[in-house]
C-alpha cells in the first residue's frame, strides 16, 4: 500500500482552483486589509558609501579568464549611480 502526500483530490476545488491557490488568495486579501491599519514601512538604506548620479551610456564588455575582451558580447547600458564600491545601471537584458 502506498500513500501520496500533499495531493489535493479533484473534489476539493473552488472555482477550478486548488485549495492552495484559495489559501494564497485569502492570505493576500488579509494582508491588504491589515496594511490599511499598519502601512508597510520603507526599507532602511544599508549602503554606507555616498552615491553620485551617473546618467551616461556605458559600454560593458565581458572578459575572458586571461583578461582579453569578448567584443561580440558587449552591451550598452544606461548609468544610474556610481560610488567608491560600485556602479549602478539600467539594462534590458538580465
83 vs 32, higher pLDDT: 83
More confident: 2 or 78 = 78
How far is residue 32 from each of residues 18, 22, 26, measured CA to CA in Å?
Answer: 22, 15, 10
Could you report the per-residue pLDDT of 45-84, keeping only the tens digit for each?
677 788 899 999 999 999 999 999 999 999 999 999 999 8
Full-model pTM: 0.46
Give per-residue pLDDT as tens, 33-53: 777 766 666 666 677 788 899
pLDDT at 35: 72
Please name the residues in contact with 63: beta carbons below 8 A apart, sequence gap of 6 or more.
69, 70
Handedness of CA 41, 47, 49, 53 (dihedral sign): negative
Amino acid at each position: 500500500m502506498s500513500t501520496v502526500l500533499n495531493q489535493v483530490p479533484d473534489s476539493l476545488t473552488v472555482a477550478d482552483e486548488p485549495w492552495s491557490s484559495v489559501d494564497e488568495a485569502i492570505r493576500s486579501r488579509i494582508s491588504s486589509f491589515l496594511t490599511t491599519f499598519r502601512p508597510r514601512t520603507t526599507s532602511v538604506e544599508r549602503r554606507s558609501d555616498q552615491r553620485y548620479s551617473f546618467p551616461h551610456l556605458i559600454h560593458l564588455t565581458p572578459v575572458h579568464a586571461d583578461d582579453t575582451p569578448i567584443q561580440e558580447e558587449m552591451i550598452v547600458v544606461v548609468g544610474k549611480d556610481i560610488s567608491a564600491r560600485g556602479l549602478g545601471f539600467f539594462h534590458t537584458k538580465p
